[in-house]
Structure 1
Amino acid sequence: MNHPEPVLEMYNYHSWANGVIIDRLNDLPQHIYHKEIQSGFSSVSKVLSHIYLTDYAWFDIISGKSMDEAMACSNQLREEVEKKSIEEMKKIFVALYDRNKEILSTEEDTDKVIVVDNPYAGLLETSISESVLHVVTHGSYHRGNIATMLRQMGHTSVMQDFGLYLYSK
Structure 2
Amino acid sequence: MTSVELITRLHEHRMWSNRQLLNASEALSEAQLRKVFKIGQGSVWKTLLHMLAAEYVWLEALEGNETPLMPGDREGLLPGNQQAEEAIQSFNELQLKWEDVDRRWNTYLSSLNESNLDEFVYKVSTSSQKGNRLGTKRSDILLHVCTHAQYTTAQLVNMLKQLGRTSLPDSMLITMARQENRE
* Shorter-chain TM-score range: 0.7 to 0.9
Cα 1:75/1:56, change in 2 over 3 Å: same
Q: Distance in 2 between matches of 1:42 and 1:3?
A: 35
1:155 maps to a residue whose letter is R
SS in 2 for 1:8: helix
The residue matched to 2:73 in structure 1 has which SS?
Answer: helix
Three-state SS of the structure 2 residue aligned to 1:70 is coil
Contact kept? 2:10, 2:146, Cα under 8 Å: yes
Compared CA separation, residues 72 and 140, structure 1 to 2 (3 A) = closer
Residues 118, 29 of structure 1: alpha-carbon distance in 2 compared, 3 angstrom cutoff: closer
Task: List per-residue Cα deviations over 1:113-133 (Å, max 9, x = no partner).
Answer: 224355434565432222111
Alpha-carbon contact 1:44-1:149 (below 8 Å) kept:
yes
Aligned positions of 1:136-151 closer than 5 A: 136-151=146-161
Q: Which residue identity lines up with residue 88 of structure 1 in the other structure?
A: E
Matched, 1:106 2:111: yes
Whether the 8 Å CA contact 1:60–1:70 is kept in 2: the answer is yes
Ranges of 4+ aligned residues in structure 1 off by more than 4 Å: 122-125
- Structure 1 equivalent of residue 162 of structure 2: 152
- SS of 1:159 mapped into structure 2: coil
Task: Return the letter of the residue paired with 2:52.
Answer: Y
Count of residues in correspondence between the two structures = 164
**Structure 2 residue aligned with 1:129:** 139
- The 1-side partners of 2:20 and 2:72 are apart by 24
Helix, strand or coil: the match of 1:116? strand
**Structure 2 SS opposite 1:75:** coil
The higher-RCO structure (CA 8 Å, 6+ apart) is: 1
Aligned position for 2:77 = none
Report the alpha carbon displacement of residue 42 of structure 1 after superposing the two structures with TM. Answer: 2.8
Whole-angstrom CA distance in 1 between matches of 2:169 and 2:53: 22
Shift, 1:3, TM fit: 6.3
75-84 or 37-46: bigger deviation? 75-84
The alpha-carbon distance between structure 1 residues 70 and 46, as it changes in their structure 2 partners (threshold 3 A), is same
* 1:74-110 C-alpha deviation (Å, 9 max, x unpaired): 724823445321x322221111010111112123334
Normalized per residue, the structure richer in helix is: 1
Q: Please report the RMSD computed on the Cα atoms of aligned residues, expressed in angstroms.
A: 2.4
Distance change >3 Å, CA 168–CA 141, structure 1 → 2? same
For structure 1, which runs of at least 5 residues remain unmatched after alignment?
none
Contact 2:65 2:123 in 1 (8 A): no
**Larger displacement relative to structure 2 (45-54 or 112-121):** 112-121
Task: Give the counterpart of 1:97 among 102, 124, 138.
Answer: 102
- Say whether residues 1:165 and 2:176 are aligned partners: yes
Q: Does 1:116 align with 2:127?
A: no
Q: Say whether the 8 Å CA contact 2:49–2:85 is kept in structure 1.
A: no
TM-score (norm 1): 0.83
Distance 1:163 1:53, change over 3 A: same
Give 1:112's aligned amino acid. D
